[in-house]
A and B are shown apart, each in its own frame.
Chain A
Amino acid sequence: MRALLLALTVSLLASAANADDPQLVIKDHKFQPERLEVPAGVKFKLMVRNNDPTAEEFESFQLNREKVVPPGKEIPVFLGPLDRGEYPFFGDFHQDTAKGVLVAK
């Protein structure tokens, strides 16, 4: 339990957004950019901001992540270390339009 709390505290301290965290913006049910370069081989935090008036869900099977992004909010998605390669993701609530790829280099 103590280890969990410690891990939690550490992760909380680590989760404050940095300017150089890779960022995705959702607008009109599309991701911007639709192709985003991210570092391979390290842990990083992807910030996903939703500028639409409705909720979206950031989801990726390859990355094993799904996370709701409420309207007007920005949430962190913790990723990595990733092997070099391409990792498609999509917006679960608007799958026809909200698509993109993370490119780990």
Chain B
Amino acid sequence: MLASLLIVFREMLEAGLVVGIVMAATEGLAGRALAILGGIGAGVSGAALVAGFADMIAEAAEGVGQELFTAGVLLAAVAMLTFHTTWMSRHGRKLASEIKEFGRAAVKGDKSLFALAAVVGLAVMREGSEVVLFLYGIAASSHEGIGAMFAGGAIGLVLAAAVSYALYRGLLTIPMRHLFSVTNGMIALLAAGMAGQAAAVLAGADVIPSWGERLWNTSFILPDGSWLGRALHALIGYSAAPSGVQIAAWLATLAVIAALARWTPDENRKPKPAAPLTDTKVAARG
């Protein structure tokens, strides 16, 4: 039971941290509960599907199918996260002021919500497929009984959900006018971490050059296998001994997101000479 508890918690913690950030980043958007739950549901179905086709994926592309698939999933998530941060630099200010005033947003955030729900789905699918394979293995060899396995798995899941919720509540203590700047920063780091991971996986499969393996090694301070190491791996892509291409992908993603955010005009700040009333309202809100 402890084995299934630990592995479910470990794998779902990463997805849980993503969900926590996404929940804070979509605070006040209409329909977000449904979107995030939908993302989780799709992720669970996807995980079962990926686990079911594990054979085929492993044997595809002469044995590097797994790496190509993982990198593809990660890069899709990076694209969605980048879209969100860009969308937020356009609408974030307005969103925050509306939530402050009315408790919820009038801004339509459907596209951004969809992008983040997809990120949740992809994270759950990626981590969940390993859980499915592991639990299936236990069920098949069944030394400890399926009941104990599911009990352990359920506790692990609840614990991961608790961490996710704690992160969300923690982020909500940030004042509304700063909340989205913080979540945007976290999402940019999340995207950079995933891009770095994708690069590491591709370099690990010898599909792209590694530009130097293990450029440094901080595992004596913070090992990858420790809980903090795992959490930071999920949040910012921490790796005790990263490769050159991993660092390059990490930096490049942050640079692209920062550049997009900078060059995307904030719609709420744009002066609208035709409607002076809006302008004064904006000024009043500061």
Partners in one complex: yes
Once A8-B207, A70-B54 are accepted as A-B contacts, the answer to whether A76 and B133 lie under 8 Å apart by CB is no
Number of interface residues of A (CB under 8 A): 33
Pair B133/A93 contact, Cβ less than 8 Å: yes
Pair A62/B140 contact, Cβ less than 8 Å: no
Which B residues form the contact surface with A (CB < 8 A)?
3, 7, 54-55, 58-59, 61-64, 66-67, 130, 133-134, 136-137, 140-141, 200, 204-209, 213-214, 219, 223-225, 239-243
For B67, the closest partner residue in chain A by CB is: A67
CB within 8 Å of B: which A1-24 residues: 4, 7-8, 11-12, 14-16
Which A residues form the contact surface with B (CB < 8 A)?
4, 7-8, 11-12, 14-16, 43, 53-57, 61-62, 64-65, 67-70, 73, 75-78, 80-82, 92-93, 96
Cβ–Cβ < 8 Å partners of B209 in chain A: 7
- Bound complex: CA of A65 vs CA of B246, how far in Å? 13
- 24 chain-A/chain-B pairs, Cβ below 8 angstroms: A8-B61, A11-B205, A11-B206, A14-B206, A15-B64, A53-B140, A54-B140, A57-B133, A57-B134, A62-B241, A64-B200, A64-B204, A64-B239, A64-B242, A65-B204, A68-B66, A68-B130, A68-B133, A75-B58, A76-B64, A78-B206, A92-B130, A92-B134, A93-B134
Pair A93/B63 contact, Cβ less than 8 Å: no
The one of A12, A15, A61, A77 in contact with B219, judged by C-beta atoms closer than 8 angstroms, is: A61
Cβ–Cβ < 8 Å partners of B54 in chain A: 55, 68, 70
Once A8-B207, A53-B140, A54-B137 are accepted as A-B contacts, the answer to whether A81 and B213 lie under 8 Å apart by CB is yes
Cβ–Cβ < 8 Å partners of B141 in chain A: 53-54
